[in-house]
Structure 1
C-alpha cells in the first residue's frame, strides 16, 4: 500500500459524523492535489475492507456523485447524521465541510 493510500484511508476514517469532505480535498490533504480520481478508486476498492465512511465524500460542487440506489443510500446515511441534502443532491459545503490540518515535518500548514 502506498503512503498516499494510507493517508487517504486515515483522512477518510477521521471524518466525523455530520461532516463531509470532497475527493479533491482528501487528495490535497493526503499530499497529491491532483489525486481526486485516486481517492475515488481507493473508496471503491477499500471501503468495505477498511470500514470507511464512504458516504461522507462528495464532489467539489457539493454534490453527491452517485446515481440510483447509491444516491438514495448516501443521501439517507448523510441525513441520518444530520447533514441536509438539498434539491439537486447538494450539500452546503460552507456548513458541513470538514477541514483537515496538514502537518509536514512538524511545520503546520
Structure 2
C-alpha cells in the first residue's frame, strides 16, 4: 500500500463520532493537497475492508457529495445518528469540522 493511502486511512480512522472532515482536508493532511479525488478513491475501494467511517467525509462546501440518492440518504442518516445536523444535504463546517494538527 502506498504511503498516501496509508495516511488517508489513518486520518479517516481518527475522525471522532459527531464530526466530519473534507476530502481536501484529508488529502492535505496526508501530504498531497491536490489529491481530494484520490481520497474519494480510497473511500470507495477500502471503506468496507478497513471499516472506515466513510460517512464522516464530505466536500469542501459541507455537502454530502454522493450522487446516488440512496447512498446520500444513508450518509445523512448516519451523520444524524451521531448528532450532526444535516439540512438540505449540508453540514455546518464551523460547528462539526474536525481538526487534526497539521502533520509534518
Structures share fold, TM-score greater than 0.5:
yes
Secondary structure, aligned partner of 2:91:
coil
The residue that corresponds to 1:30 in the other structure is 30
How far off its partner does 1:102 sit? 2.3
Q: Deviations over 1:45-68 (max 9, x none)?
A: 000000000000000000001131
CA-based RMSD = 0.7
Q: Deviations over 1:62-87 (max 9, x none)?
A: 00011310011000000000000012
| Equivalent-residue separation in structure 2 for 1:6 and 1:21 (angstroms) | 17
The residue that corresponds to 1:69 in the other structure is 70
Compare CA radii of gyration and give the structure with the larger one.
1
| Equivalent-residue separation in structure 1 for 2:62 and 2:69 (angstroms) | 18
TM-score, scaled to structure 1 = 0.92
The residue that corresponds to 2:6 in the other structure is 6
| Equivalent-residue separation in structure 1 for 2:41 and 2:90 (angstroms) | 22
TM-score, scaled to structure 2 = 0.97
Contact between 2:22 and 2:62, CA under 8 Å: does it hold in 1? yes
Residue segments in structure 1 that go unaligned for 5+ positions in a row: 105-109
The residue that corresponds to 1:107 in the other structure is none
The residue that corresponds to 2:84 in the other structure is 83
Residue segments in structure 2 that go unaligned for 5+ positions in a row: none
